[in-house]
Amino acid sequence: MRFARPLRRVADALRHLPGRVRGTSGPAGRHRTPRPRPRTGQAAPAAARPVTRPAARARRRLLVTGAAAACAVLVAVLVLRDASRPEERGTGGPVPSGQDAGCRPTALLEPPCGAWFGAFVPHERDDLGEKVRAYEDRVGRKLDIVYTYHDMSRVEGARREGQLLTPEERRVGEDHLLLLSWESKWWGGTQEQQPTWRQIADGDLDASVIDVQARRIKDYGKKVFLSFDLEMDTRTPDNGTPADFVRAHRHIHDRFRALGVDNVVWTWIITGYLEHGELFEAMYPGDAYVDWIGYNQYNYYRCHDTDWLTFAQTQTATHAWIREHLSDDKPLMLSEFGTAVDTARPERQAQWYAEVPRVLKRLEGVKAALQWNFRDPGPHCDLALAGDAAWDSLREAVADPYLNQPLE
């Protein structure tokens, strides 16, 4: 059984969109377009307005248009600032050294003087450590964060997909931070075995799943990042309503607290696809239930039949939208980032990664960036590093002091 991130399938009707759109379940995942929901602040979302209302369509058009304009302006500002301040380019930016005494991580694992670098590294169940070490050898440094995925199946017999903190993860976690993605799915299970948000919120999975895994994390002792149903904006209505998701997220959080689990950093991860803006607002559990906000944006290029987008273009508009609509102070995470390959101009992938540290320094509050080194299904959808030039470029980028912060 692979412990890789489940495959993603993109709807043909959405392949022209540059935003992040992807599948929702295990190896047989299906993409679906969520219906926008109204903003409700910190309270549980109210019933949705019909998606065909002209006002809703107008708001969505304004949202996308405004985001595109904001992205263009912000990217232009970055270019002008870099041109006028060449001393901040490359690895010599005006940021404190990761070795400064004031750069130790906070209680919520936030690095005050820079950002963590991490990755999703494809692996089988038993070779996580080996695959992580091989990736680190290629990139020339140790990862700060290792990203793994789990479902909510019961741990029975040899089945371990639902076991948070496998023995392999515990070993890797001895000298890395862990980001555990916990999905309300039973990969490969029957329809009856698939948990719903309403069942989770009502406590139906407490004894068999939630409490079991909460106690395992508590026993682990070290702090971990934990994400419940990443990209939940692609999971409604099949998993339930936005209100159901908020109730489920809050229930898991409160259940962990009731069991004395205080070593979880709650990480809420969305696609970052801005046409889902109203949905993001409706599915935000509230500041008291979220420690970090993550988003997953890529340069898909021919995979989605889009223009080539720079790293700045993929990240800036979503960053600005989150700061305006969700939180102006939560630490942010680029929980998955990467680029496809331009086979006609293979040097482009290396150039794309070269700009990562420069742009990260301008994205206020972004405290972690995790490279996605795998593929999406479909032609032209391999998002892994394609050759020595790309590896060398990423290697140089992540050697930047800004991305080398003390773990303790």
In the predicted structure, residue 213 carries a pLDDT above the cut 50: yes
In whole angstroms, what is the distance from residue 97 CA to residue 79 CA?
Answer: 24
Side chain identity at 181, as an amino acid letter? S
pLDDT score of 98: 54
SS3 category, 150: strand
CA dihedral 115, 324, 264, 101 (to 10 degrees): 30
In the predicted structure, residue 2 carries a pLDDT above the cut 70: no
Each residue of 287-314: pLDDT tens digit? Answer: 999 999 999 999 999 888 899 999 999 9
- Cα 156-158-164 angle, rounded to 5 deg: 70
Each residue of 114-167: pLDDT tens digit? Answer: 999 999 999 988 999 999 999 999 999 999 999 999 999 999 888 899 999 999
In whole angstroms, what is the distance from residue 54 CA to residue 58 CA?
Answer: 6
For residue 310, the Cα-to-chain-centroid distance in whole angstroms is 19
* Tokens 């509230």 sit on residue: 286
pLDDT score of 99: 59
pLDDT score of 100: 72
Omega before 237 within 30 of 0, i.e. cis: yes
